[in-house]
Amino acid sequence: MSFRPNDSTVESAGIEHIDGLYSYALVLTHNRSEAEDLVQETYVRALGAMGRLRADSNVKSWLFTILRNIWFNQLRQQRTAKLVALDGEERAVNIAEPAKDPYAFYVGKIEHEQVRQAIQQLPAAFREIILLREFEELSYQEIATILDCPAGTVMSRLARARASLRKLLSEVLGTSDFVRKEALE
């Protein structure tokens, strides 16, 4: 069964996932402008294909699959991907943070930056699986569909990715609870 999307369907299929798609694009491309183009292209293709989407489809994992396919098709065509290091000037996350205590606010920002840097140090396959599971909360089966691999592979790769990331974040893990607790008191 297919359905004709109305304005609100198209809108709801789009904007609510934009941060996740942008994060995924940055994790794949390591390049801000390429990530932005990739996200925009994803929406353009998604809108074109919306009429063929089944009513019971998982729009979120569908969008992530489109983004990944566009990126790897581009890679295949270009053969070389520009790997420009992120310069740390990414837009500050527009989250309403605890305001009363600037120290707690500062600790949260530092921790966030450490997590970003640690993730960007991981190999590409680990970066994307961490993003899809820990940040987008997709199920193993949904991730398997996006990555086009068996769910068992997702499980084992995710375990290895977590182990690597945990190692990179061991210092943060050791101190964050103590510091956060102290900051909030």
Partner 1 sequence: MNTCEEHGHNVLLYVDNELSGQELENFRAHLSDCLSCREQLEEEQKFSDLLHRSRPLYTAPDELRARVIAAQHTSVSDHTPNRLRKRVLRLLKPSLQTPGFPMFPWRGLTAIALVFLLGMVFVPTIARRARAATYMDTALTTHRSYLDGNLPLEIESDSPEAVTAWFAGKVPFDFRLPTSQASPNGERAYRQVGARLVNYRGSYAALVAYAMKNEKITLLVTSNKSAEAYGGDEIRSRGLTFHYHRKVGFNVITWSTHGLTYALVSELHTSARQSCLVCHQNMADKNEF
**Residues engaged in binding partner 1 (CB under 8 A):** 7-8, 10-12, 14-16, 18-23, 26-27, 36, 39-40, 43-44, 47-48, 90-100, 105, 108, 111-112, 115-116, 119, 130-131, 133-135, 139-140, 155, 158-159, 162, 166, 169, 172-173, 176-177, 184
Smallest distance from partner 1 to CB 79, Å: 27
Our CB check for partner 1 shows the closer of 3 and 140 to be 140
Our CB check for partner 1 shows the closer of 44 and 75 to be 44
Smallest distance from partner 1 to CB 174, Å: 10
Our CB check for partner 1 shows the closer of 79 and 91 to be 91
126 HSE (CA, 13 A, CB side): 15
Q: How far is CA 92 from CA 18, 139, 171, in A?
A: 15, 28, 23
Smallest distance from partner 1 to CB 112, Å: 5
Residue 11 backbone zone (phi > 0: left; psi -120 to 50: alpha; other: beta): alpha
Smallest distance from partner 1 to CB 21, Å: 8
**What span, in angstroms and rounded, lies between the C-alpha atoms of 113 and 88?**
9
Contact criterion met (CB below 8 Å) for 62 and 96: no
Please give the DSSP secondary-structure letter assigned to residue 148.
T
**What span, in angstroms and rounded, lies between the C-alpha atoms of 94 and 97?**
9
